[in-house]
């Protein structure tokens, strides 16, 4: 978990796209991330701050050391989070280069464009649909790919459902959002603020088919792979979809005919890199662009070559993928995300199961209160506003200690949410810590409430957050809960629990629990609850 958010965000404009982040989300299982820790340097080492997407390049990069004597050290970070790091100057001295899915975000941020030097595009992958083949065939899309408007019509008619990552958290979700909004606006040119206002109702129609969300492209793909019947398909990088193994049925890749946004993976030298790193950078980029390596990239990572004229056989479709124009201002990007969250996406119903046992007394409780208040309007940065409880969202707070407490539900209205957010902040102030820790009875109760809310408001995205700082020592056991969960129908099993690991939480047990429910864990063991809560918002 990173702390850069505190350092940064002076100008509002700056915070804007930076706010797209949450790439700092890390489940405890992906322990490969060491961002911020600093990479070992050396005369043959190129230290690269990279999007988590390029993790699949490791085997190829390993060859580089043998072939050309350049050792590449990678730190992974979400694209947008990494952008913020570069723009704020945080990458200076720690890294020699960056490797994100694209540099467009970077270029929109003041300060960032002067921080980067030469960039060399290595490979590319458009953000497209992957649908179960039977669904694609039924809709005729396997032979005649649809427009975004046709996709929208089919989604609203209930002909298919899909998952997409949260555009405030993930590059693939944001890319899809740009494509769909631009296409539905029908102007044929780059999106403007005025277009977004006009197109909001059509966007809501399209997103009525969204049944699954996630904070990262990888998590979304894993989730679809684990339960391919939960939705009919997902929006993701072509490269991820081509590599996806789904039980029972192949995936049809559907490229909307009126435009997609392509990631072009520019390997980019930072201007702050020492002169000695430049030859390493040049050597590496030249090598990555050799025909042999370009072919390996295509076959191993399913990305399109960055070098023209590389023969890739039938790996990629011959049809033209039309590129959607990307917004040219931060303002348009921000408005688009805000409209998605507050008006276009299916509303969220989120339950927070909050440990208020005796061990939370003092600074831990204060951290929890602050983390919740940040989501209820206390964090006024643009970053914070994207994580804020959104219009139309239903928020239920369920505290527990020796026993489950009573739930309090807040319905954020469609328009002015200030009053309700103030109520949530007031409620938070009244939380008190005392007693034992009854995790599982409370979680069971939470599922009961969540199921009821799901019935009350169908078409919403329901999830549970469990925050605990200790071990279960009251009420039913973990295995009792597991039995209960297993007994639930498909509706209940579709509700994930995201676990915030805090204080002396039982990491192994809770990780198992999160995974079993289709959720994941968020590490706040270092005490940074606010960042964890903000990161979770990408998954709700």
Partner 1 sequence: MSATAKRGIAIGLAVLLIVGIVFAIFGGRLFGASKSAGGGPLTVVTGVIGSEKAPFFADAGVKKIFASKGYDVEVTTAGSRQIATSVNLKGVDFVFPSSAPAAQKIKLETGASTTFAPFYSPMAIATFKPIVQLLSAAGIANQDATGTWHLDIAKYLQAVAAGTRWNQLPGAANLYNSSRSILISSTDIRQSNSAAMYLAIASYVANNDSVVDSQADEDALIDQAGSLFLEQGFSASSSEEPFDDYLSQGIGSKPMVMIYEAQFLGEEMSAQKSAITPDMVLMYPDPTVFSKHTVVPLTKAGTAIGQLLVDDPKLAKLEAIYGFRPANASVFKDALTEHKLAVPPLPVNVIDPPSYETLESMIEQISTRYDSPGASATPTPGTTTDPSPSPTPPQ
Distance, CA of 304 to CA of 123 (rounded, Å): 6
- Rounded Cα–Cα distance for residues 242 and 303 (Å): 9
Q: How many CA atoms lie within 13 A of 326 on its CB side?
A: 16
In sequence order, what DSSP letters do the residues of 503-521 get, joined into one string?
TT--HHHHHHHHHHTT--E
User: Which of helix, strand or coil describes residue 333?
Assistant: helix
Of the candidates 364, 361, 358, which has an alpha carbon nearest to the alpha carbon of residue 473? 358
Query: Which residue in the set 37, 158, 248, 309 belongs to the binding site for partner 1 (CB under 8 A)?
Result: 309
Q: Does 120 help bind partner 1 (rule: CB under 8 A)? A: yes
85 binds partner 1, rule: CB under 8 A: no
DSSP assignment of 387-452, as one string? HSPPTT-EEEEEEESSSB---EEEE--SS--HHHHHHHHHHHHT----S---HHHHHHHHHHHHHH
Counting contacts by CB under 8 A, is residue 267 touching partner 1?
Answer: no
Helices (H), 260-359: 277-288, 291-301, 330-339
| Position 258 contacts partner 1 (CB under 8 A) | yes
Among 53, 334, 349, which residue's Cα sits nearest to residue 177?
A: 334
Q: Coil, strand or helix: which one is 487?
A: helix
- State in angstroms the smallest separation of the CB of 485 from partner 1: 46
Query: CB of 283: closest distance to partner 1 in angstroms?
Result: 9
* 293 makes contact with partner 1 (CB under 8 A): no
Determine, following the binding rule CB under 8 A, whether residue 300 of this chain makes contact with partner 1.
no
Q: Which of 156, 282, 391, 506 binds partner 1 (CB under 8 A)?
A: 282
Q: Is the backbone of residue 4 left (phi > 0), alpha (psi -120 to 50) or beta?
A: alpha
Among 269, 344, 461, 524, binds partner 1 (CB under 8 A): 269
- Residue closer to partner 1, measured from CB, 51 or 259: 259
Minimum CB distance to partner 1, residue 298 (Å): 13
Supply the minimum distance, in Å, between the C-beta of residue 189 and partner 1.
4
Cβ atoms within 10 Å of 172's Cβ, excluding its own: 30
x/- contact string, 312-351, with partner 1 (CB under 8 A)? Answer: --------xxxx-xxxxxxxx-------------------
- Nearest approach in angstroms of CB 67 to partner 1 is 16
**Residue 108 near partner 1 by CB under 8 A:** yes
CB of 255 to partner 1, least distance (A): 10
Ramachandran category for residue 362: left, alpha or beta (phi over 0 → left; psi -120 to 50 → alpha): left
Query: Strand, coil or helix: what is 531?
Result: helix
Q: Which of 1, 9, 17, 244 binds partner 1 (CB under 8 A)?
A: 17
Stretch that binds partner 1, among 235-243, 280-288, 477-485, 507-515 (CB under 8 A): 280-288
Extract the runs of DSSP E, i.e. beta strands, from 101-184.
Answer: 116-121, 123-132, 162-165
Integer-rounded Cα Rg, in Å, for the chain is 23
Is residue 183 involved in binding partner 1 (CB under 8 A)?
Answer: yes
Query: What residues are paired with 75 via a beta bridge?
Result: 49
Shortest distance in whole angstroms from residue 234 CB to partner 1: 22
# residues contacting partner 1 (CB under 8 A): 60
121 lies in the binding site for partner 1 (CB under 8 A): yes
- Identified binder of partner 1 from the candidate list 113, 370, 423, 515, rule CB under 8 A: 113
Selected from 110, 140, 201, 413, the binder of partner 1 by CB under 8 A is: 110
Do the beta carbons of residue 130 and residue 260 sit within 8 Å?
no
Residues contacting residue 210 through CB under 8 Å, at least 6 positions apart: 155, 161, 162, 163, 164, 345, 346, 461
Kindly tell me which of 294 and 349 has the beta carbon lying closer to partner 1.
294
Look-up: residue for tokens 């720690």? 94
**129 near partner 1, rule: CB under 8 A:** no
Q: Which is nearer to partner 1, 40 or 275 (CB)?
A: 275
**Least distance between partner 1 and beta carbon 140 (Å):** 17
User: Smallest gap, in angstroms, from Cβ of residue 425 to partner 1?
Assistant: 30
Which of the residues 23 through 82 are near partner 1 (CB under 8 A)? Answer: none
Both tokens assigned to 374: 């940040």
Instruction: Name the minimum Å distance from CB 375 to partner 1.
Output: 25
Give residues in contact with partner 1 (CB under 8 A). Answer: 11, 13-14, 16-17, 104, 107-111, 113-114, 116-121, 124, 147, 183, 186-191, 257-259, 262, 264, 269, 271, 275, 278-279, 281-282, 285-286, 289, 305-309, 320-323, 325-332
């Amino acid at each position: 978990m990173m702390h850069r958010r505190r350092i940064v965000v002076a100008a509002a404009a700056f915070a804007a796209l930076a706010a797209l982040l949450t790439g700092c989300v890390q489940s405890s299982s992906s322990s490969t991330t060491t961002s911020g820790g600093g990479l070992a340097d050396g005369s043959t080492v190129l230290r690269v701050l990279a999007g988590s997407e390029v993790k699949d390049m490791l085997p190829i990069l390993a060859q580089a050391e043998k072939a050309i004597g350049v050792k590449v050290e990678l730190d992974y970070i979400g694209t947008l989070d990494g952008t913020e790091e570069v723009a704020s100057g945080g990458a200076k001295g720690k890294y020699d280069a960056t490797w994100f899915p694209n540099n467009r975000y970077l270029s929109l941020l003041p300060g960032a464009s002067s921080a980067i030097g030469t960039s060399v595009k290595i490979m590319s992958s458009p953000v497209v649909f992957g649908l179960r083949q039977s669904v694609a065939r039924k809709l005729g899309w396997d032979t005649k790919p649809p427009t975004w408007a046709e996709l929208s019509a089919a989604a609203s008619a209930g002909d298919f459902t899909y998952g997409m990552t949260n555009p405030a958290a993930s590059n693939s979700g944001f890319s899809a959002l740009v494509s769909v909004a631009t296409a539905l606006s029908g102007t044929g040119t780059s999106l403007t603020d005025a277009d977004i206002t006009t197109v909001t109702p059509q966007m809501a129609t399209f997103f009525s088919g969204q049944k699954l969300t996630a904070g990262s492209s990888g998590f979304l793909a894993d989730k679809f792979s684990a339960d391919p019947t939960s939705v009919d398909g997902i929006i993701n990088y072509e490269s991820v979809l081509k590599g996806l193994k789904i039980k029972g049925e192949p995936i049809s890749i559907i490229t909307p005919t009126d435009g997609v946004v392509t990631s072009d993976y520019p390997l980019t030298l930072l201007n702050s890199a020492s002169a000695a790193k430049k030859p390493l950078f040049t050597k590496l980029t030249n090598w990555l662009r050799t025909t042999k390596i370009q072919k390996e990239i295509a076959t191993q990572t399913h990305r399109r070559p960055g070098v023209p004229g590389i023969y890739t056989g039938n790996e990629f479709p011959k049809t033209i993928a039309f590129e959607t124009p990307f917004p040219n201002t931060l303002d348009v990007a921000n408005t688009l995300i805000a409209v998605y969250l507050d008006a276009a996406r299916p509303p969220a119903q989120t339950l927070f199961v909050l440990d208020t046992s005796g061990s939370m007394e003092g600074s831990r409780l204060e951290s929890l209160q602050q983390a919740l208040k940040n989501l209820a309007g206390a964090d006024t940065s643009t970053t914070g506003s994207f994580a804020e409880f959104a219009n139309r969202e239903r928020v239920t707070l369920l505290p527990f200690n020796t026993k489950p407490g009573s739930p309090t539900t807040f319905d954020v209205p469609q328009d002015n949410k200030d009053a309700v957010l103030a109520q949530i902040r007031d409620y938070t102030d009244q939380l008190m810590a005392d007693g034992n820790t009854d995790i599982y009875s409370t979680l069971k109760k939470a599922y009961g409430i969540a199921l009821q809310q799901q019935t009350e408001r169908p078409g919403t995205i329901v999830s549970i957050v469990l925050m605990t700082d200790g071990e279960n020592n009251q009420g039913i056991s973990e295995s009792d809960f597991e039995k209960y969960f297993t007994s639930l129908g498909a509706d209940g099993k579709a509700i994930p629990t995201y676990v915030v690991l805090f204080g002396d939480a039982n990491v192994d047990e809770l990780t198992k629990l999160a995974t079993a429910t289709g959720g994941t864990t968020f590490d706040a063991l270092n005490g940074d609850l606010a960042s964890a809560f903000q990161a979770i918002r990408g998954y709700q």
